Copies of this chain bind each other. A is one copy, B any other.
Amino acid sequence: MLTQRVHVDRVFHALGDPTRRAMIEKLSEGPVSVTKLAKPLAITLAAVVQHLQVLEKSGLVHTEKNGRVRTCRIESRGFKVAECWIADRRSLWETRFDRLGKLLAEPD
């Protein structure tokens, strides 16, 4: 079981790369084989596999081998981690703004 901090690190590191985000964009449309996923990308198949490992470790993508074909699909677990981290920050600064607003609205 990953600690929350390590998971946040892995997810944002994974999302920080434009090739990996392009892979996620493609997979959002539906599961595809590694070969199909690699086709529009201007990198080697070995590089695609490395990116996939990063995406799998962060819980953003799941891959499964059936016979000779490895199929990739989106996994929502990693996205939830990113969404929660942003939502937690937003909640902190919005609460602060609300307090400030109330303070400014008070009569002198």
Contacts and interface: CB of A to CB of B under 8 A. Distances in A.
Interface of A: 8-9, 12-13, 15-18, 21, 24-25, 27-30, 74, 76, 79, 82-83, 85-86, 89-90, 92-93, 96
Nearest to A9: B18
B96 A89 contact: no
Contacts of A16: 12-13, 15-17
B82 A86 contact: yes
Nearest to A29: B92
Given A79-B89, A90-B76, A21 B25 contact: no
Given A15-B15, A15-B16, A16-B16, A96 B29 contact: yes
